Amino acid sequence: MTVRILGGGVAGSAAAISARMRNADVELIEKVHYPRHKVCGEFVSPQAVMLLGKLGVTDAFLGAAPSRLDSIRVHFKKRSRKVKLDEPGYGLSRYVLDDLLFSRALEAGAQHVPLGRERPNIIASGRLPVDTSLNRQFAFKAHFEGPPGDAVEMFFFSRCFVEVTPIEKGFTNICGLAHEHMLHRYGFDFDTFLDRSPALRARIRPLKRQMNWVKAGPIVIDNKFGINETADSFYVGDALAFADPFTGSGLAAALESGRLAGELCARGASSAEYMKQCRAIFLKPFQNAQRIRALLDSGRAELLSMALPASLMFSMTRPRIKE
């Protein structure tokens, strides 16, 4: 059978590699040319690292010299918390990571098709369509030069979230997600916007921006867990469910859903079987993330930091992926 995959990002490439591991013919429909920058915090969680291993790309990943990260530092308005990671995570730009995975899929025998003519069976085309509500969020990122630090740092302020991640070659990625009205107040000038948080200002002061800001949005934090029961396509990655960026689990979710869909689709299993497994892995942690996000958005982040150890915040939102 031919496995047709719409989208050759992280999830689509993972699906392609996984289906090729089962000797299926694979068509990978991707419209962009790699490498390219992508808005992302660029933190590759320990789970994502394990999944890269399952796809046989550990050597290529480590060969790209990602920055090793042993802890996460979380900054609320007045408090900071450090979470030691059980296994190391890494910082690697999407410029490198996506290119690496897409190239690996092609090396494994997937055929790159720039435009799909036949109906794909795996949908890996990224986030769900645009949010039309008034409460829209936008994301942005840029790479900086300067002292990289030894941890991924997360800043929560004014219902905004900013992630500072040391990546390859001594660069640091700064990526944020903020509500439109807030960004509008600063004329969408991200440098001025970031200056409003004292903790973030101190972190950014020694750094120098190396590229123009890349923007994305509106961002919708949503999922297809409830509505895909009868669909015959396999939705993977952000097209299945968009992981709230603060969880740091988006790449792991994309890799695991892609890997699983590639395997099941190549074996001729039904999408209902796939969705059953996906719900067991992702539904609870994603619901927990929504609850935590609601607390953060209600302005109770400081309270949350006192009531909930930061390590629990991450373990509650981590997909239940088998090693």
Ligand X SMILES: Cc1cc2nc3c(=O)[nH]c(=O)nc-3n(C[C@H](O)[C@H](O)[C@H](O)COP(=O)(O)OP(=O)(O)OC[C@H]3O[C@@H](n4cnc5c(N)ncnc54)[C@H](O)[C@@H]3O)c2cc1C
Of 29, 83, 207, 321, the one binding ligand X (CB under 6 A) is 29
Q: Does 319 help bind ligand X (rule: CB under 6 A)? A: no
Paired with 216 in beta bridges are 139
DSSP assignments along 97-134, one per residue: HHHHHHHHHHHTTPEEESS--SPPSEE---SPSPP-SS
Determine, following the binding rule CB under 6 A, whether residue 149 of this chain makes contact with ligand X: no
If one asks whether residue 39 binds ligand X (CB under 6 A), the answer comes out as yes
Measured between alpha carbons, how far is 286 from 291 in angstroms, rounded to an integer? 9
Give the C-alpha separation, 301 to 289, whole Å. 13
With a CB cutoff of 8 Å and minimum separation 6, the contacts of 300 are: none
Instruction: Rule CB under 6 A: choose which of 18, 26, 42, 110 binds ligand X.
Output: 42
The SS3 of residue 85 is strand
Is 17 a binding residue for ligand X by CB under 6 A? The answer is: no
Binding ligand X (rule: CB under 6 A), the pick from 124, 183, 264, 289 is 124
Write down the least CB distance from residue 101 to ligand X, Å: 9
* 163: contact with ligand X by CB under 6 A: yes
Work out which of 5, 11, 52, 301 binds ligand X, going by CB under 6 A. 11
93: left (phi over 0), alpha (psi -120 to 50) or beta: beta
Q: Select the span of 41-49, 51-59, 285-293, 309-317 touching ligand X (CB under 6 A).
A: 41-49
Task: Of 174, 173, 177, 156, give the one whose Cα is nearest residue 219.
Answer: 177
| Residue pair 44/286 in contact by the 8 Å Cβ criterion | no
Round to whole Å and give the CA distance between 211 and 214: 9
Residue 40 sits in the site that holds ligand X (CB under 6 A): yes
Interface residue with ligand X among 52, 167, 219, 261 (CB under 6 A) is 219
Q: Say whether residue 15 binds ligand X (CB under 6 A).
A: no
Tokens of 305: 């930091």
| Site for ligand X contains 105 (CB under 6 A) | no
Q: Which is nearer to ligand X, 207 or 245 (CB)?
A: 245
- Regarding 254 and contact with ligand X (CB under 6 A), the answer is yes
Residues at the site binding ligand X, with contacts judged by CB under 6 A: 6-12, 29-32, 38-43, 45, 48, 124-126, 139, 163, 175, 177, 219, 237-239, 243, 245, 248-252, 254
